[in-house]
């Protein structure tokens, strides 16, 4: 430890960003706090890995022919374990307290069977300093249910310990970590079309194949941790180790994750460690009975309460809070095979002011000072270090709006250790434009600045819209674009109105430029890939407890004569394009043109050249586009293609040959600082990606096409119901469980043709 501490005087982050050295004292303080906490855990608990196995020690566990229950409740004066197993009478099941405030009891098996049966209700019954006895759900409970037939019924803790024959056994390994995550954000409960809560198994069987067919490589699941208030979107967690019982059992969730892995999809979980539900009877807050903060999960007074969220805030300096939260991460990762997490509310954790009424300008003094919550940062450093040690290929995403530097640099460099942050300014820009600006007043430079304004030494996930943009009071991008005409104008059996034409065109452009230019990964919320209309509104008193806006209308995209299929097809194709060319993981990103008059943006990302024409009505013939390498370019993806609901104005069989521009190596003599150029046709409200043809493989490609008698097209489309794919002139069976009507796009490269 002494050697490491001596080396913190020059952290690697200072080499990445010399401006950080001004805050050397801050970084030294927090890295030493981290190292000190880590060493204390190693000394007293045997290391982080052992410390994070708390779920095997706390809560109810079976050990050597007995049931052992432990609970941290230092404020309790007496305690008992009660439940259906003892007719709710704890007189014979009194617990003992140690010097750390941990209560425990050991109950021997009866006739070789656990005294507390599987799937039976239990509670922690204790007397606090005020003299009153109260009942609470065990903090480490793994399942909690309520009586759905009774309005406002409280949750009951349920002991979950199924016999071996009923336990789900994972069959499939974790898929490898992709270079760039293409994330499908989903809420299981609202994933069905019927006005009801959908289940884990229904999601696995009906929705996961859709996600795979659309060429995503990662699923992010919301609202998995138990939350008594459904409309909280899962963010007011009551039981941190319990699977949300509305959608099924822990074994059902394991089936979902395993099914995703079988389809090659990694699974991330929305984890909420930034705050906890304010509920007393069924939440962790019930353990706060007026004691001091050192004996509580939460801070006391104003520091322990989030006034905007009406929720409790953790005391991350407490030993047992660290055990609880770190073990929580490991539990979900080990027991359910999650491949990583999206940490919710990180901005609230980073600062004592929680980001409330705070605007961040980018001044480093806003990030590294007395407002910074070092306790929370140390917890996140420990968490990220632990997760990457347990699973080196884990993907950990931070939801942070502040833009704190080095949030996404490794812990051993002096960073907080996340892999990605969400690019949260991007959807705000699109919503502002769609609500407040005419198309002709859209600024190309402002769009580019929003998409590219990020720290390039830290990775981020770009998205045009998530669940946040469509909750009640707002609308999806498609509905902002087309509004009421989506009810009457989406039939392909009639000509599209100007509003529908504009809406579908901009829906495709907005999502594609966000993916291509906005970050190192991409995220889409469930249903937005096909332009889901309206908004999200969970059942509540204000809407007469209706599920009408709390579901996904898959029939819209499955109905062949509706135009939703075009937006879905484009989503499939742009994901397939990224899969083939890996442009999101490329460090090459060059914007060569932001033409405010023409309303055109041209840029290179990886090996592709992108041309976006946002002009409402101007077609540009022979539009000059700068590029890096000389050669021949062809269309890789065209939003105006007929299969995407476009007008088919761009020729896909056209070869675009480059011309040299200026003097080699002298950018100021080049065209838009690019050494080569080629000319294209650019219709209004279209986006086209071009790839450079590999001349060495061209003859082989043509020969292969002629020999097979197949027509060479850039995309292969098949009916997903046929369970066949066609690729490179070869036809074969693919058992991918698509099972849904629609088009499936797989980009076919020249390399694949050679094979």
Residues 475 and 339 in one domain: yes
This prediction's pTM: 0.91
Report, as ranges of residue numbers, the positions in the chain whose pLDDT lies below 50: 1-5, 699-755
Boundary of a domain, candidates 542, 558, 581: 581
Return the CATH number at 622.
2.60.40.1180
Amino acid 469: pLDDT: 74
Amino acid 103: pLDDT: 98
Residues 596 and 700 in one domain: yes
Amino acid 716: pLDDT: 29
Pick from 520, 522, 575, 566: which is nearest to 689 by CA? 575
Amino acid 697: pLDDT: 65
Residues 231 and 262 in one domain: yes
Residues 541 and 642 in one domain: no
Amino acid 562: pLDDT: 98
Residues 534 and 602 in one domain: no
Does 737 fall in a domain?
no
For every residue of 202-263, DSSP letters joined together read HIIIIIHHHHHHTT--EEEEES-EE-S-GGGTT-S-SEEEEE-GGG--HHHHHHHHHHHHHT
The active-site residue out of 258, 282, 399, 638 is 399
Residues 622 and 643 in one domain: yes
Does 545 fall in a domain?
yes
- Collapsing DSSP to helix, strand or coil, 744 comes out as strand
Return the CATH number at 110.
2.60.40.10
Does 755 fall in a domain?
no
Question: Domain tally for the chain?
Answer: 3
Pick from 490, 634, 653, 504: which is nearest to 569 by CA? 504
Amino acid 472: pLDDT: 63
Residues 373 and 516 in one domain: yes
Does 672 fall in a domain?
yes
State the CB neighbour count (10 A cutoff) for residue 445: 12
Residues 542 and 618 in one domain: no
Residues 208 and 140 in one domain: no
Residues 508 and 596 in one domain: no
Pick from 179, 177, 197, 201: which is nearest to 189 by CA? 197
Are residues 743 and 530 in contact, defined by beta-carbon separation less than 8 angstroms? Answer: no
> What confidence tens digit (pLDDT) does each residue in 242-276 have?
999 999 999 999 999 999 999 999 999 999 999 99
The boundaries of the domain holding residue 659 are 587-707
Here the tokens at position 156 are 């009951």
Residues 346 and 431 in one domain: yes
Amino acid 245: pLDDT: 96
Does 147 fall in a domain?
yes
Boundary of a domain, candidates 144, 159, 174: 159
Query: Using CB atoms within 10 A of its CB, is residue 15 exposed (0-12), middle (13-18) or buried (19+)?
Result: exposed
Establish whether 344 is a catalytic residue: yes
Residues 494 and 593 in one domain: no
Establish whether 399 is a catalytic residue: yes
The active-site residue out of 344, 534, 537, 640 is 344
Here the tokens at position 269 are 């979980």
């Amino acid at each position: 430890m002494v050697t490491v501490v001596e080396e913190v005087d020059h952290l690697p982050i200072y080499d990445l960003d010399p401006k950080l050295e001004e805050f050397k004292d801050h970084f030294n303080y927090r890295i030493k706090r981290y190292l000190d906490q880590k060493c204390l855990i190693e000394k007293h608990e045997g290391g982080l890995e052992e410390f994070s196995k708390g779920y095997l020690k706390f809560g109810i566990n079976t050990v050597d022919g007995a049931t052992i229950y432990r609970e941290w409740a230092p404020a309790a004066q007496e305690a008992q374990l009660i439940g259906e197993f003892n007719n709710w009478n704890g007189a014979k099941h009194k617990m003992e307290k140690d010097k750390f405030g941990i209560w425990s009891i050991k109950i021997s098996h009866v006739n070789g069977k656990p005294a507390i049966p599987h799937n039976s209700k239990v509670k922690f019954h204790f007397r606090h300093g005020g003299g009153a006895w109260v009942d609470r759900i065990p903090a480490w409970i793994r399942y909690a249910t309520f009586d759905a037939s009774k309005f406002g019924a409280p949750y009951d803790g349920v002991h979950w310990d199924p016999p071996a024959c009923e336990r789900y056994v994972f069959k499939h390994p974790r898929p490898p970590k992709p270079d760039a995550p293409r994330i499908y954000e989903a809420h299981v409960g609202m994933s069905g079309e019927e006005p009801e809560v959908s289940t884990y198994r229904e999601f696995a069987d009906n929705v996961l194949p859709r996600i795979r067919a659309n060429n995503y490589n990662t699923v992010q699941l919301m609202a998995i941790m138990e939350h008594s208030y459904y409309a909280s979107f899962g963010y007011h967690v009551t039981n941190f180790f319990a699977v949300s019982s509305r959608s099924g059992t822990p074994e059902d969730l394991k089936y979902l994750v395993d099914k995703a892995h079988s389809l090659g999809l990694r699974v991330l979980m929305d984890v909420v460690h930034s705050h906890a539900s304010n509920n007393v009877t069924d939440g962790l807050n019930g353990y706060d009975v007026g004691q001091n903060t050192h004996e509580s999960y939460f801070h006391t007074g104003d520091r322990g309460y989030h006034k905007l969220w009406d929720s409790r805030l953790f005391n991350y300096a407490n030993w047992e809070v660290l055990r609880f939260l770190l073990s929580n991460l490991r539990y979900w990762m080990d027991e359910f095979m999650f491949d990583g997490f999206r940490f919710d509310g990180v901005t609230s954790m980073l600062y004592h002011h929680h980001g409330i009424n705070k605007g961040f300008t980018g001044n480093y003094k806003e990030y590294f000072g007395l407002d910074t919550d070092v306790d929370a940062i140390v917890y996140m450093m420990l968490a990220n270090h632990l997760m990457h040690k347990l699973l080196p290929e884990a993907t950990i995403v931070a939801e942070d709006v502040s833009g704190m530097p080095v949030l996404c640099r490794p812990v051993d460099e002096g960073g907080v250790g996340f892999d990605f942050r969400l690019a949260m300014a991007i959807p705000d820009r699109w919503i502002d434009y769609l609500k407040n600006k005419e198309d002709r007043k859209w600024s190309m430079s402002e769009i580019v600045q929003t998409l590219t304004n990020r720290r390039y030494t830290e990775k981020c996930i770009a998205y045009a819209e998530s669940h946040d943009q469509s909750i009640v009071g707002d609308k999806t991008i498609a509905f902002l674009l087309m509004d009421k005409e989506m009810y009457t104008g989406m039939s392909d059996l009639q000509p599209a109105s100007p509003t529908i034409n504009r809406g579908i065109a901009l829906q495709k452009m907005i999502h594609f430029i966000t993916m291509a230019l906005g970050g190192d990964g991409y995220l889409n919320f469930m249903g937005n890939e096909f332009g889901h209309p309206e908004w999200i509104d969970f059942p509540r008193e204000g809407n007469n407890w209706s599920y009408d806006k709390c579901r996904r209308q898959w029939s819209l995209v499955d109905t062949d004569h509706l135009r939703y299929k075009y937006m879905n097809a484009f989503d499939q194709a742009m994901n397939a394009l990224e899969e083939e060319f890996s442009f999101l993981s490329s460090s090459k990103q060059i914007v060569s043109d932001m033409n405010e008059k023409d309303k055109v943006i041209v840029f290179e990302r990886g090996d592709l050249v992108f041309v976006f024409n946002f002009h409402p009505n101007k077609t540009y013939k022979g539009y000059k586009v700068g590029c890096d390498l000389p050669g021949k370019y062809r269309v890789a993806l065209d939003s105006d293609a007929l299969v995407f609901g476009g007008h088919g104005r761009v020729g896909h069989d056209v070869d675009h040959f480059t011309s040299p521009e200026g003097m080699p190596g002298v950018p100021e003599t080049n065209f838009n600082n690019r050494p080569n150029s080629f000319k294209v046709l650019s219709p209004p409200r279209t986006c086209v990606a071009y790839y450079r043809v590999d001349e060495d493989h061209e003859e082989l490609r043509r020969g292969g096409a002629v020999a097979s008698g197949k027509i060479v097209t850039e995309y292969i489309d098949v009916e997903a119901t046929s369970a066949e794919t066609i690729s490179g002139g070869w036809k074969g069976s693919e058992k991918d469980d698509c099972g849904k009507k629609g088009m499936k796009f797989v980009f076919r490269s020249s390399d694949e043709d050679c094979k």
